[in-house]
Amino acid sequence: PRLATVPPMPCNPQVVMQRLLVLLVLVAQAAAFSSPSVLLQRTSSASFTPLSSSARLPVRRHVVNSYNGRSQSRLVPSIRQASTFSSALRMAALPANTPLKVGICGATGAVGKEIVGVLETRGFPVKELHLFGSERSSGKVVETKWGKVEIEAFSVQKAREMDVVFISVSGDFSKEYAKAIAEGDDGAVVIDNSSAFRYDKDVALCVPEINADAARKNPNKVIANPNCTTAIGIMALFPLHKRFGLKKVIMSTYQAASGAGQEGMDELRDGAKEVVNSAEGTIAKNKIFAHPLPFNLIPHIDVFQDNLYTKEEMKVTWECRKIMDIPSLPVSCTAVRIPTFRAHAESIVVETEKPIKVDEARDLLAKSPGIALADEPANKKYPMPLTASKKYPVEVGRIRQNIVFGDHGLEFFVCGDQLLRGAALNAVLIAEALAEPVGKDFTPKL
């Protein structure tokens, strides 16, 4: 295709060399941007270095936004513009095989504690570990693999001194501080566990075994961790999509008290004790959950939307579409809170574009990263919170042909630790993936 119209060469040798240089850069740029994975996503908002009028030769290209599926005509930046954008694509990178200064905001919470544990067991290269907490927890000492670490009162200035910061506090906290921590060349990479930026088109939403490059090419240094329910179920959904193509997804989730953090687990534990040690008919008190959770289940997580789905249920729809880059995938979810401490379970039905056989699906899932096959019904082996808790892989089992969709349908059951795969582990794996080059599949050993 015609890239640009260059005026006739003038006689001035210096100008001639400048024009030749521009032509060479344009040719290299056209080759570099021919891959769909490298197409511009933020041309309109990126900050580019101004050029003299003789060197400003933008190229108009027809591209498709991978998230919303809309076709757009955009200007590809030229010469210094292209080099500035290329560096922006790797702004979220971390150096390989280099000890890093690591900060954790919310270090005393359920997920924060798990992040410390994952860093330890994964052998993450930590040079310094800084644990940020509230004024109330400031000064407390935590024993870690790297020695005793005193909890510090959070400050943006201190967090910006880190190489990578994990935030596990709240959406409001992230909205107020995440971008301030990451801003500029001297800011830190921020991996955020809240929902604050998950649906921001300029922020990567990442499960690194699936879309590590979304984080590596992130045009800013804030990266979003998905909702725990999504992170667990998508580990099985994505390999099936790659092989057979997903047409529809129907999911029912059975979510542990840990989804509401340490306070949720405490309410379940205290409430169960109260019921067991009291007269028959006693009902536990509830503050965190919509109703008493002990010896009960609650088909209500987060707030109801106009379509009568809850926000928790819609998160699964929105996030599966974004992470797998299938903008129009029909995903329906019913989310239920159950009285278990940790590990979410999910019953999933899929309709596929291609015919799918149970044995082929089972073999595929067994070989997929992040999955532990637990599918021996005759031996009473299947995914359960009891066996999936405190484990890194997601258990997958009860694999069978779905009666409704026939040879284009599959039904299965998954279970994964909400605090690990659904939060802390995924966050640390994102950091690990950022130390690897763009284009490299991320297949960690778990």
Identify the CATH number of the domain in which residue 251 sits: 3.30.360.10
Whether 344 sits among the annotated catalytic residues: the reply is yes
Same domain, 337 and 202: no
Q: Are 319 and 371 part of one and the same domain?
A: yes
Tell me, yes or no, whether 361 lies in a domain: yes
Per-residue pLDDT of the chain (446 residues; tens, 9 = 90+): 444 444 444 455 554 555 665 566 555 555 544 443 333 333 333 332 233 333 333 333 333 333 333 333 333 333 233 333 333 333 578 999 999 999 999 999 999 999 999 999 999 999 999 999 988 889 999 999 999 999 999 999 999 999 999 999 999 999 999 999 999 999 999 999 999 999 999 999 999 999 999 999 988 899 999 999 999 999 999 999 999 999 999 999 999 999 998 899 999 999 999 999 999 999 999 999 999 999 999 999 999 999 999 999 999 999 999 999 999 999 999 999 999 999 999 999 999 999 999 999 999 999 999 999 999 999 999 999 999 999 999 999 999 999 999 999 999 999 999 999 999 999 999 999 999 999 999 999 99
Give the active site residue among 206, 320, 333, 344: 344
Provide the number of structural domains found in the chain: 2
Q: Is residue 70 domain-resident?
A: no
Is 228 an annotated catalytic residue?
A: yes
One domain, residues 171 and 302: no
Residues 243 and 344 in one domain: yes
Judgement on whether residues 150 and 247 belong to the same structural domain of the protein: no
Q: Do 317 and 238 share a structural domain?
A: yes
Q: What is the CA radius of gyration of the chain?
A: 25
- The enclosing domain of 180 has a CATH number of 3.40.50.720
Same domain, 186 and 234: no
Nearest CA-CA partner of 350 in 254, 247, 441: 247
Label residues 316-349 b or e (16+ Cβ within 10 Å = b): bbbbbbbbbebeebebebbbebbbbbbbbbbbbb
Q: Is there a single domain that holds both residue 243 and residue 135?
A: no
Residue 259 DSSP class: G
Residue 178 lies in a domain: yes
Residue with the two structure tokens 């390989």: 96
**Shared-domain flag, residues 216 and 310:** no
Give me the domain span that covers residue 355.
Answer: 229-256+297-418
Is position 20 within any domain?
no
Q: What is the pTM of this model?
A: 0.79
Question: Could you tell me if 125 and 148 lie in one domain?
Answer: yes
Catalytic residue among 206, 228, 320, 415: 228
